[in-house]
Amino acid sequence: MAAQGIRRGRPRRAPRRGGRHDRHGSDGGTAVTAPHDRTFLVVVHTLRSDVDRTVEDIRRRLDVAGVRMKLQSDVREAPDDAAVGCEVVVVLGGDGGFLRGAELARRADVPIIGINLGHVGFLAESEVDTVPDTIDDLVHRRYTVHPRMTLDIEIHDGDSLVSQGWALNEVSVENRSRQGLLELVTEVDGRPVSRFACDGLLVATPTGSTAYAFSAGGPVMWPDLEALLIVPSNAHALFARPMVTSPRSVIAIEVEGSRHEAIAFCDGRRTLEVPERGRIEIRRGEEPVRFIKLGAGPFTDRLVTKFQLPISGWRGRRDGDGVADISTGIGG
């Protein structure tokens, strides 16, 4: 039974807004929206001189299009309901800022797009030098929306549910003190799989497979794949390989022994306390995060571009002139 005071229900969500396929006129065409009805939330980590120029450029372009810009200039201080009533969330920054923006977008059930101002920016759809085209596409709704899997996480103490959380990338169960090893037992669909001592264990989505899970030795999963990824971190065991399970699986991690306390990190941003000999249950999230995609470039190109993978020597499929197409767009 659940602990007293814990609510399993989810917060009430704002009505879905925006997206070219969300609003239609009686003749099947896209309805014309009055300018004052459209608001974009622009989120930045912090305003610097270079970022400030980009923000002003976006504001000017939205003003011309009759779209209101709501600015959140410190992503860390953004209220949880900042995106409610907005059409899209636009994040200027790197993956850390995008993850905070994803919290706001998910709560309001609106799509999100990232414009990379960082180094890798794997979650970003476009780069800062393409801001004019990106804003034009958003204003004219020339984009598609792709739901990305999330994780729902529950922490149990015996029969009591003590806390809940969610993640877009991964949940990482780690040793709170960062000293010594955790004794963990993994379980999939109600059956034990393995017990080992380790630095920690990650459960990731396909979106998160290129983040922490990738650094820990997990495989890259294409984002349209529906699956859950389990990656032990520096485990002392014969069988401690990454595993990919069904998206319908329920994964559980039980903390054994009492030498070290565990803690669960959701996307490296939100923490869930794990009691002594606690149990963490992870399943596919009920609410996705809706990514905006511009163009039709494949995920493969994003992987090559963002990770700067060597592709010299590739011949590829020949076109009518006998020349291989080696273009690499960012989309995916």
Query: For the chain, what is the mean pLDDT?
Result: 85
**pTM, entire model:** 0.83
CB 235 within 8 A of CB 198: yes
Average of pLDDT values for 9-23? Answer: 41
Q: Is the pLDDT assigned to residue 134 strictly greater than 70?
A: yes
Q: What percent of the chain has pLDDT over 90?
A: 68
Contacts of residue 93, defined as CB under 8 A and 6 or more positions apart, other chains included, come to 43, 44, 45, 75, 114, 116, 117, 118
pLDDT at position 322 is 53
Of the listed ranges 41-55, 69-83, 228-242, 258-272, the one predicted with least confidence: 41-55
- How far is Cα 249 from Cα 128, in angstroms, rounded to an integer? 39
258: pLDDT confidence band, cut at 50, 70 and 90?
Answer: low
More confident: 326 or 229: 229
Q: Is the pLDDT assigned to residue 199 strictly greater than 80?
A: yes
Q: What percent of the chain has pLDDT over 70?
A: 83
- How far is Cα 172 from Cα 248, in angstroms, rounded to an integer? 20
Residue type, 279: R
Q: Which tens digits make up the pLDDT trace of 270-282?
A: 999 999 999 999 9
Q: Is the pLDDT assigned to residue 70 strictly greater than 90?
A: yes
Catalytic residues: 95
pLDDT at position 325 is 55
Q: Is the pLDDT assigned to residue 109 strictly greater than 80?
A: yes
- How far is Cα 250 from Cα 255, in angstroms, rounded to an integer? 17
